Chain A
């Protein structure tokens, strides 16, 4: 492999690029702001990646497509553990960069390794729709390092249960693939709920897994076709004493509720939530939540700054008319209307000027 011969040189280059002297020479912009101009795949601190493959997983007419992207990261990628996610930012049409969280679907990766993310093109999702539908091979994306505690322990238990629904299959699929690569000798009970067989992601790979046995007990369920829904009784029949079997569950809110109901406060259960899709508001009512200070109040329709101050908060602010950018804060969820332009925006984790943004319906701001 060519990477092994160039590794010492690359290591030295990285050490030089990350040195304090280089930081002092390239301040205030930093070394990455120079490297990226030469080659977007060069970085000393940031993580970027090039899309090297786009693969359609399922394409049911009338339903959003699901795609797997293979990413070639910069050497700054520190690798990931199966089950983790990554923040991925892409400049849609070369202008606005939007960042979303996607789960890594490939098995554990080491520094600099290629990995894949799998996503369903959410009809309202700017990023997933672009990536699954339009992104060209060679497009550069911006990444965080892998994050998240939804991972298998270093010593994998003898028997594990994985429960997923819809596109919640990606983290557990990553785990399953890792276990297969590690030639895990124990038993895996893999339960997945999909809308219909046509909607099944990774169908052929799962069929191979089922055929090969290898201690993997696979259950692909389609309740709409009469398959049993998740219940304590059904689980007990499938895995006697399941409450004490280490379990990893990921999927939409109703499934996770059912899982919680079945496991109670069992310490064996590990859960990853998927944020439920937002329903479009349009009304002034609802509640405003200031996440950092933990305050919630009915939405009065006034600017977020005014509402925060009415609750006794003192967020940083300046001109109070939207020109000085002193009050920019992160809106975590909800819709806001720019009181000057009237434009509404519902992007999660968006930076807004709270002095000229009024919430429409429920809204959460990091203040």
Chain B
């Protein structure tokens, strides 16, 4: 560990880069972006089509295997992989507009609908717009704690947060439902900042999507297997659960491990393009792993690259990552990456730590909260 451990203040502010440096940093990021944009073509198209084909294959295999009761675990596994691919590498990325340039209505951000109870148009508002524009700005990015959890020391503690680990567990199990209800901003209604009437336009689409998903997984497909109804029903429920648990963990590892910086509304006023990139970089964390792992995370294991370039095809992120890391080294900026186990442990620890009021108010309290294991040295990243 050669890099000195930055304090949260350093990481969260612009103290480490001058305005000039920020501008040059932004230009370097723009240069990467343009090079990839100019290079998009047949390989990217063939790749996403291959993933779609695989997803449909796993889906059909999963549905078919429910007719063979001994193959139940295999059916569940197949359907789980299908749902994970549909939500992560296909749905999430297509709805970011990553493949809009292909001109294929089946892979277009405005038309794609995913296998998830959250309607795509509502998700695109809360995710593509709110979360990706205001990444990690406390008070603006509603993905910090999803309005339910306390995930940052800048969120004032309240006895309600003693339940933090329980809420996290529930959010994990029912993640697709949590995501679907995210746009309703229940916490803002409770706090009186939003009225129930504001949600009225959202209900019809939400209910329609929920009904369709439920009818398909919990009525039609089980009914089609006749006497095996309960087994198929349970299998579909487990596949949805597996996808929920997986998606929750990948997303939490991308945003909440130790060392990820948050920002205040004030410091992001009149933000430059360079500072925007800088905030995306410091507000995200990567998970190291192999090719299949990256595919199953929708390449959100490259959360940093995704936040820097949300509309570039995700298959490019591993290729971009080399360059981003090299640039970070030159500017002496943290590049937060670690294996899944380590990031998961760090997230779990933060969820528990945030349940309790901050200790030691006298000194800089942030020193206490920031985890000591954060900077990843070269060998770890290379592994």
Contacts and interface: CB of A to CB of B under 8 A. Distances in A.
B371 interface: no
Chain B contact residues, majority secondary structure: helix
B311 A24 contact: no
Contact of B220 (A25, A99, A326, A340): A25
Nearest to B114: A28
B215 A24 contact: yes
A298 B105 CA distance: 33
B123 to A, nearest CB: 12
B100 A318 contact: no
Contact of B106 (A33, A94, A99, A325): A33
B102 A323 contact: no
A127 to B, nearest CB: 11
B53 A321 contact: no
A326 B101 contact: no
Contact of A323 (B53, B103, B132, B209): B132
Contacts, number: 104
B125 A326 contact: yes
Contacts of A33: 52, 56, 106
B34 A351 contact: no
Interface string A23-34: 011011100011
Nearest to B53: A37
Interface residues of B, number: 46
A122 interface: no
Given A21-B220, A24-B216, A325-B96, A95 B45 contact: yes
Given A37-B53, A96-B103, A24 B220 contact: yes
A98 B103 contact: yes
Contacts of A328: 97, 100, 109-110
A33 B52 CA distance: 9
B129 interface: yes
Contacts of B37: 341, 343
A319 B133 contact: yes
Contacts of B97: 325, 328
Interface of A: 21, 24-25, 27-29, 33-34, 37, 89, 91, 93-99, 318-319, 321-326, 328, 340-343, 351
Interface of B: 30, 33-34, 37-38, 40-42, 44-46, 52-53, 56, 60, 96-97, 100-104, 106, 108-110, 113-115, 124-125, 128-129, 132-133, 209, 212, 215-216, 220-221, 224, 273, 276, 310-311
The 3 closest A-B pairs by CB, nearest first: A318-B129, A97-B103, A28-B113
